[in-house]
């Protein structure tokens, strides 16, 4: 399956712990996006990355959240000191280019904070 | 600030009939619109899109209509099939990578 791969699919953390979500884009795609879906809401843009660069992190909370897309390996979305409000589905998407167009989404990582 | 709105959270339709999903937007800079379909526990999958230079785009059973003056678009599915039961998200972008999504409409196709 050459689609966008996310892991883990489900992650349970206690308040104050760290959550680390991983995303491997589709083969040939160098643009990665993270979106968050809270219950009963649509997907909200968080961050856009290219290899080794954060292009736009305007949708990411200023504290506790960070993202990276290293030269080698998957993109990582890291949430430090998780709180209950971080419980959500986190979707990664990729695209071959940066302009307007279709994004290819992974199956998502569902974070539950106890 | 919800720039894309899907005011109907759910829609129930008889198999074989037409499903019409509606979407309104507020940002006049949006010029590219997409519909995504999502099954439970899966990621959204692209369905159909339309550029602001068009008012209609058709792909098989799916047609998207765009009314720029009303800032409104709709998705028509005809005939509806049981496999169409899913959540449908309307999304829009202003000629860039950032998609703004609506909250989704859950479609249930009854046999």
Q: Give the model confidence (pLDDT) of B45-69 as tens digits.
A: 999 999 999 999 999 999 999 999 9
Q: Do A104 and B104 touch (CB under 8 A)?
A: no
Residue B23 has pLDDT above 90, yes or no: yes
Q: Is B98 on the interface with A (CB under 8 A)?
A: yes
Neighbouring C-beta atoms of residue A57, cutoff 10 Å: 17
Of A6, A41, A99, the CB nearest to B103: A41
Does residue A2 belong to the interface with chain B, where contact is any CB pair within 8 Å?
no
Please report where in the chains the tokens 């966008």 appear, as a residue: A4
What is the pLDDT at residue B1?
65
DSSP A25: P
pLDDT in tens, chain A (114 residues): 579 999 999 999 999 999 999 999 999 898 999 999 998 888 999 999 998 899 999 999 999 999 999 999 999 999 999 999 999 999 999 998 876 678 999 999 999 999
> Is A104 part of the contact surface with chain B (CB cutoff 8 Å)?
yes
Contacting residues for B7 by C-beta, under 8 A, at least 6 apart: B22, B24
């419980």: which residue's tokens? Answer: A87
Contact by Cβ (8 Å): B102, B80: no
Q: A95, B104: Cβ pair inside 8 Å?
A: no
Report the distance separating Cα B20 and Cα B67, nearest Å: 15
- CB–CB contact B42 A40 (8 Å): no
Q: Tell me whether residues B45 and A105 touch, CB distance under 8 A.
A: yes
- DSSP class of A21: E
List the single best residue of A102, A106, A108 to mutate versus B (max B Cβ within 10 A): A102
Residues of chain B found within 8 Å of residue A6, distances taken between Cβ atoms: 43
CA distance A16 to chain B (A): 26
* pLDDT score of B97: 84
A65/B74 Cα distance (integer angstroms)? 36
Instruction: State the alpha helices, DSSP H only, in A10-109.
Output: none
Confidence at residue A102, expressed as pLDDT on a 0 to 100 scale = 84
Contact B89/A at CB under 8 A: yes
In the prediction, which pLDDT does A77 show? 98
Distance between CA atoms of B79 and B70, rounded to whole angstroms?
26
Of B32, B42, B102, the CB nearest to A100: B32
pLDDT at A101: 75
Whether B42 sits inside 8 A of A108 (CB atoms) is yes
How high does pLDDT run on average in chain B? 95
Tell which wins on pLDDT, B21 or A41: B21
Contact B75, B62 (CB under 8 A): yes
What percentage of chain B has pLDDT greater than the value 90? 90
């Amino acid at each position: 399956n050459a689609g966008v791969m996310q892991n883990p699919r489900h992650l349970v953390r206690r308040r104050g712990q760290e959550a680390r979500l991983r995303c491997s884009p589709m083969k040939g795609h160098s643009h990665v996006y993270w979106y968050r879906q809270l219950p009963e809401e649509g997907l909200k843009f968080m961050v856009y990355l290219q290899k080794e660069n954060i292009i736009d992190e305007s949708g990411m909370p200023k504290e506790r959240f960070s993202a990276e897309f290293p030269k080698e390996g998957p993109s990582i979305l890291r949430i430090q000191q998780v709180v209950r409000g971080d419980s959500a589905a986190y979707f990664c998407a990729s695209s071959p280019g940066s302009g307007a167009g279709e994004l290819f989404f992974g199956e998502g990582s569902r974070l539950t904070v106890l | 600030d919800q720039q894309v709105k899907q005011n109907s959270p759910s829609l129930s339709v008889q198999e074989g009939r037409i499903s019409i999903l509606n979407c309104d937007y507020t940002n006049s800079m949006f010029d590219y619109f997409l519909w995504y379909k999502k099954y439970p526990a899966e990621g959204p999958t692209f369905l159909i899109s339309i550029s602001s230079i068009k008012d209609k785009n058709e792909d098989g059973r799916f047609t998207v209509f765009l009314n720029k003056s009303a800032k409104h678009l709709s998705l028509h599915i005809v005939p509806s099939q049981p496999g169409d039961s899913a959540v449908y998200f309307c999304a829009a972008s202003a000629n860039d990578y950032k998609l703004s999504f609506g909250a989704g409409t859950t479609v249930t196709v009854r046999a």
